[in-house]
Amino acid sequence: MTDSIIFHIDVNSAFLSWEACYRIHHLGGKVDLRTQVAAVGGDMTMRHGIILAKSIPAKKYNIQTGETILEAQQKCPELILVPPNYGLYEQCSAAFMEILREYSDVVEQYSIDEAFVDMTNTCHLFGTAEETAELIKNRIRDELGFTVNVGISRNKLLAKMASDFKKPDRVHTLYPEEIEKKMWPLAVSDLFFVGRATAKKLFTMGIRTIGELANCDPKWLKTILKKQGEIIWGFANGIDCSPVLSQAAPNKGYGNSTTTPFDVVDILNAKKVLLALAETVGNRLRADLVQVEVVAVGIRYSDLSYVSHQKRLRSSTNLTLEIYEAACELFLELWNGAAIRHLGIHTSRVQDDNFIRQLLLFDDTDYDKLAKVDDMVDRIRERFGIDAVKRAVFVDQPIDHMCGGISREKRTVDYSKLQIQ
């Protein structure tokens, strides 16, 4: 039986790299952001002021992805900040994935900037695993302008761990026989699936390296950390049986949330935000030809505390108004009257769209008519843009009529207003 050959390919400082390439190759820029103390950050005026990506030189100042722009600027006042441009990122990601699919028909896009590639059946066409990885890495750099790291192993976990070794523009192997030398000395916090909370628990248990975790009694770990203890013990020993999936698994739930442009302190504005979120969630459900049975609402107050509440519907749905009405009901039960900075609608128990609605004797709602209206609105927006149809309640309002997910201001950048060096 042939040993599996799995690549994990990860773009180095993806958002920043893509921005740097675009500025140099399309806008005539002379300064490479990747060599500067630079970061991609949200708009503080829109209350999206966090670091989304950073350059390698920015790591020297301990600037962290996810921290606020204010925190990052306190660490380095000279930090160069550039606005996010998700439209650009999606184009770069598509070009990156297109190259990978020329080397294998089994490519799993793991995120916008990373992918697993099963090279087991095609690697021999290009050379050894290391030679093929170098070929792919160099081609991406030469044709697209940005660099990647490639991790090589027998399974997805070890390939991903390998790609996180020294950066940028590197190929690393982490075969099972190399685990003890290359992976076990690493801090346990570097292991995939070990977050901050779990790492803290492991530290208090005296487990500081991946090797120490690997050599623990798995039954003891499971009694303390439950199912996760069993999983991370397996990962520490390089055990992972998950296949590379060329087609994404069906969504188990759909949801969107948004940070409001101002503190919401009244029911009217809260309901407008929920309606805007219901528009985008409903649109996604209908696009995937599915319905949901459970709707949940999440509220983050201005003090950053978070609460959520959910309900099971009488019948599965993908109708915008039905999702909205359920969300409003949940919101009124949940809200304590405090100022709100973030709202979300989340759904679960996904069903195929051919699920038959259970009719009620005293329910006179014309669901067929609502479905036809939603379908027509979806078609118009798809053809002429999302602003082609807008509910009257959103006219001349600061609340975007289709909010959630990637916000509008992050999708494009007006470069004429920026000073490109």
- Residues labelled catalytic: 114
Please give the order of strands across the beta sheet that includes 51-54: 51-54, 38-41, 80-82
Residues 6 or more apart whose CB falls under 8 angstroms from that of 364 comprise: none
Q: Are 261 and 47 in contact (CB under 8 A)?
A: yes
Assess contact for 322 and 244: CB atoms under 8 A: no
Q: How far is CA 92 from CA 86, 87, 105, 140, in A?
A: 10, 9, 20, 11
